[in-house]
Amino acid sequence: MSNFFSLIRNENMKIYYRFGTWFMIGLLVLVAVAGAIIVKTSYREPTDWRKEVTAETASFKASLEEGNISKTYKDYLTQQLKINEYRLKHDIKPIASNTFWGYLESSAGMISLVTLFTIIVAAGSVASEFSWGTIKLLLIRPTNRAKILLSKYMAALLFAIGLLVLLFAVSAISGAALFGIETIKEPYLAYQNGEVVEKSMIWYVLQMYALNCADLVMMTTFAFMISTVFRNQSLAIGLATFSLFIGPQITYFLAMKFDWAKYLLFANTNLSQYLDGMPMVEGMTMSFSIMMLLLYFLVFNALAWLIFQKRDIAA
Amino acid sequence: MNPLLQLKNVRKDIGSKTIIHDLSLEVFAGEVFGFLGPNGAGKTTTIRMIVGLMDITSGEVLINGIDVAKNFEKAIRYVGAIVENPEMYKFLTGYQNLLHYARMTSGVTKDRIDEVIKLVGLEHRIHDKVKTYSLGMRQRLGLAQALLHRPSLLILDEPTNGLDPAGIREIRDYLRKLAREEGLGIVVSSHLLSEMEMMCDRFAIIQHGKLVTIEAVQELSKQAQKVLWIVDPIEKAAQVVQERFPHYHIQQNGQGIEVDIDYHDIPKLNAALVAEHVQVYGIQVLAKSLEERFLEMTGGNEIV
């Protein structure tokens, strides 16, 4: 096991002694800080939040009365109605984007940047060894190939975790600095077992982060697999980022016509669809998506492992 | 003595093509074994199979008696190698590169790393990034990573490539010392034939994936060859040779005569010359060079 720990240290050394890595880390910090500044300068306070919530409630009611909507969406609207009523009754203002929690919540959207950077690192980790020619000296050590591959994969995931923590921390600090922390006690309204309950915002934000990570893990694994199978970093980065940004759109169009689209990877990566009550294909559930993601995860890893294990190194 | 490295009918097929045909050879502890062949003969493929980078189609490779294909982790512990060019992580320093490889084998201490650095003479530049190194320095770093874990078998592909004459000599002496004093078995592939001649004890020539011959470098001087006789008077000496050994080819030059003579006839001719009162100042065996042997064996029509 100490051997495996050393392998991860080796991989980390190869990640963090490169300029490109620090460029990506710097860029992420910059975006998280700039985001807060943009929100600060462009946000306009609503005149009366009560009026807006009332208007929203009315439109929810109108939609519910139309009748020809799906059951999941109906449930979702009913929940939102209850939450809005609770809000008005107990005088709880919705979380605005120019608050500490509001900004932290929207920073979850920047996880796609973390995904992009992790894809770059994962795609490079196996393919570069081949293009540098260092794979030969790497594989003539008393360590089996599976362990070496796993250490590379773990190092990429550790990089992702590092970036997530950094994103969260920088967003929290810049949010606190620009918007203040007076609103930190404001609760998050959740709907549980038929009633509205007040919860801490931190759980809500962490949940948003966690849901966005499905994409991150899947695309990193995908890029890693392509990198191992084709030994080509550009191809791996290209395919993975293309899929990351275009995949959901294509899947969305397919899902409008075909029921089988629900088995596609991108129909399942966006787990927050279940929080919005609008799954891509009617009848999909959170557990179905998690099962599908696990399946894809296993297939990608098995492919990478099998091919890396068997390959003749002729680079 | 058990061989350190043993290839038994090793064969490699890629697709329907056979790249290596039933290659068998043995390398013993304490010797430097040269691996020669024209480009594309299968030297590198064979080396890749020995170090487990490529699968062996049939046959087996044993290192210290351990099958590489079946027990890779155990067998490879005894091997230090450079496969083709010593490619390193250019964005890391030489030291970090060594640290990287040291971490992958148990039992390599920091002291050992320092020791190896001193051994290859890289003390002054070891904390510089590898991208600033010359080819010769990379070669030394390559040798350092191969020696880190005190292997008993060293496999080096073109170890003197890119070194200046002083560096070549240093590495050659060092390899010979490792073989003689530390008892390492060393396999060296190269196409610098004169270099191999000075470095190796035995050599194998392969061509088209087949073993052509295995010979000891010493044997080269025992085959039919040119012998230079420094004599006076030259004309009389030539006469004696023609009388006694009419089938040998003679060539006169300024110092004496060159005779294409069988190794065992050298003393006889000497005795004859002395008996005829020819002054013999010197007998110099113009040994057949490895290059001649190589061209002879491989047909000489290949680009070396």
Distance from CA of B89 to the nearest CA of A (A): 7
Using CA coordinates, name the residue in chain B closest to A133: B87
In this prediction, residue B304 carries a pLDDT of 41
In this prediction, residue B136 carries a pLDDT of 84
For residue B114, the enclosing domain spans: 5-216
Residue A192 has pLDDT above 50, yes or no: yes
Assess whether B179 and B271 both reside in one domain.
Answer: no
Rounded to whole angstroms, the Cα distance separating B121 from B123 reads 6
Q: Determine, yes or no, domain membership for B167.
A: yes
Assess whether B118 and B259 both reside in one domain.
Answer: no
Greater model confidence, A70 or B235 = B235
Assess whether B164 and B279 both reside in one domain.
Answer: no
In this prediction, residue A1 carries a pLDDT of 47
DSSP code for B248: S
Distance from CA of B76 to the nearest CA of A (A): 6
Which residues of chain A form beta strands (DSSP E)?
A: 187-192, 195-200
Single residue among B216, B246, B267 that ends a domain in this structure: B216
Give residue ranges of A with CB < 8 Å to any B CB: 3, 6-7, 9-10, 13-14, 17-19, 132-134, 136-144, 310, 312-314
CATH code (residue B174): 3.40.50.300
Rounded to whole angstroms, the Cα distance separating A36 from A110 reads 12
Residue B192 has pLDDT above 90, yes or no: no
Distances (CA, A) of A187 to B9, B64, B147, B246: 75, 70, 63, 114
Option in A10, A132, A144 nearest B103 (CB): A10
H or E element at residue B7: strand B5-14
Six-digit token pair at A180?
């203040």
Q: Which of B297, B89, B115 is nearest to B210 (CA)?
A: B297
Assess whether B123 and B104 both reside in one domain.
Answer: yes
8 Å CB contact between A151 and A66 = no
SS3 label, residue A180: coil
The alpha carbon torsion through A240, A241, A244, A250 (nearest 10 deg) reads -90
Rounded to whole angstroms, the Cα distance separating A87 from B187 reads 80
Rounded to whole angstroms, the Cα distance separating A35 from A175 reads 9
Distance from CA of A118 to the nearest CA of B (A): 20
Q: What is the mean pLDDT of chain A?
A: 88
* Chain B residues near residue A310 by CB distance under 8 angstroms: 55
Six-digit token pair at B301?
């029509």
Token match 């799906």: residue?
Answer: A70
Q: Determine, yes or no, domain membership for B196.
A: yes
> Across the interface, do B53 and A140 touch by the CB < 8 Å criterion?
yes
H or E element at residue A19: helix A19-42
CATH code (residue B273): 3.30.70
Rounded to whole angstroms, the Cα distance separating A109 from A209 reads 8
DSSP code for B71: S
In this prediction, residue B290 carries a pLDDT of 67
Single residue among B168, B188, B216 that ends a domain in this structure: B216
Q: Which of B152, B293, B210, B260 is nearest to B7 (CA)?
A: B210
Q: Of A103-117, A246-260, B214-228, which one has max mean pLDDT?
A: A103-117
Assess whether B181 and B89 both reside in one domain.
Answer: yes
In this prediction, residue A24 carries a pLDDT of 96
In this prediction, residue B73 carries a pLDDT of 92
Q: Which of B121, B122, B179, B138 is nearest to B155 (CA)?
A: B179
Lowest mean pLDDT among A146-155, B46-55, B284-293: B284-293
Averaged over A194-219, what is the pLDDT?
Answer: 87
> Across the interface, do A312 and B52 touch by the CB < 8 Å criterion?
no
Rounded to whole angstroms, the Cα distance separating B257 from A92 reads 114
In this prediction, residue B303 carries a pLDDT of 43
Read off the pLDDT of residues B138-174 as tens digits, 9 standing for 90 and up.
988 999 999 999 999 999 987 877 778 888 888 888 8
Residue A174 has pLDDT above 70, yes or no: yes
**CB hemisphere CA count around A268 (13 angstroms):** 23
In this prediction, residue B302 carries a pLDDT of 47
In this prediction, residue A247 carries a pLDDT of 86
> Across the interface, do A140 and B92 touch by the CB < 8 Å criterion?
no
Read off the pLDDT of residues B25-68 as tens digits, 9 standing for 90 and up.
999 999 999 988 887 888 889 999 999 999 999 999 999 999 99
- Counted across chains A and B, CB pairs separated by less than 8 A come out at 79
Assess whether B211 and B235 both reside in one domain.
Answer: no
- A221 contacts: CB under 8 Å, gap ≥ 6: A122, A153, A296, A297, A300, A301
Distance from CA of B117 to the nearest CA of A (A): 18
Averaged over A139-143, what is the pLDDT?
Answer: 93
Distance from CA of A6 to the nearest CA of B (A): 6
* Reported confidence tier of residue A35, pLDDT bands at 50, 70, 90: very high
In this prediction, residue B289 carries a pLDDT of 67
Convert A190-208 to b/e letters by CB count within 10 Å (16 or more is b).
Answer: ebeeeebeeeebeebbebb
In this prediction, residue B288 carries a pLDDT of 65
∠A126-A129-A130 over CA atoms, to 5°? 95
Q: Determine, yes or no, domain membership for B303.
A: no
Rounded to whole angstroms, the Cα distance separating A109 from B91 reads 33
Residue A150 has pLDDT above 50, yes or no: yes
In this prediction, residue B256 carries a pLDDT of 83
Q: Would you call B51 an interface residue with chain A, using a CB distance cutoff of 8 Å?
A: yes
Q: Which of A3, A131, A153, A135 is nearest to B54 (CA)?
A: A135
Cα(first)–Cα(last) distance of chain B, in Å? 34
Distances (CA, A) of A143 to A310, B72, B106, B161: 15, 9, 10, 29
Assess whether B41 and B102 both reside in one domain.
Answer: yes
Residue B222 has pLDDT above 70, yes or no: no
Instruction: Sketch the domain layout of chain A as residue ranges.
Output: 2-45+96-310
Greater model confidence, B53 or B251 = B53
- B11 contacts: CB under 8 Å, gap ≥ 6: B18, B20, B21, B22, B23, B56, B57, B58, B59
Q: Determine, yes or no, domain membership for B298.
A: no
Number of structural domains chain B divides into: 2
Q: Of A140-149, A192-201, A204-213, which one has max mean pLDDT?
A: A140-149
Single residue among B154, B184, B216 that ends a domain in this structure: B216
> Across the interface, do B101 and A137 touch by the CB < 8 Å criterion?
yes
Greater model confidence, A3 or B144 = B144
Residue percentage of chain A with pLDDT more than 90: 45
Greater model confidence, B304 or A219 = A219
Residue B269 has pLDDT above 80, yes or no: yes
Q: How many CB atoms lie within 10 A of CB B169?
A: 13
Window B:264-283, CB contacts with A under 8 Å: none
Token match 């191969």: residue?
Answer: B146
Q: Determine, yes or no, domain membership for B292.
A: no
Rounded to whole angstroms, the Cα distance separating B120 from B111 reads 15
Assess whether B274 and B159 both reside in one domain.
Answer: no
* Reported confidence tier of residue B124, pLDDT bands at 50, 70, 90: very high
DSSP letters along A115-179, please? HHHHHHHHHHHHHHHHHHTTHHHHHSSSS-HHHHHHHHHHHHHHHHHHHHHHHHHHHHHHHHHHH
Assess whether B19 and B161 both reside in one domain.
Answer: yes
Using CA coordinates, name the residue in chain B closest to A128: B89
Q: Would you call B145 an interface residue with chain A, using a CB distance cutoff of 8 Å?
A: yes
> Does this complex have an ipTM over 0.90?
no
Averaged over A31-51, what is the pLDDT?
Answer: 86
Residue type, A19: F
Residue B11 has pLDDT above 60, yes or no: yes
Residue percentage of chain A with pLDDT more than 70: 98
Rounded to whole angstroms, the Cα distance separating B40 from B304 reads 10
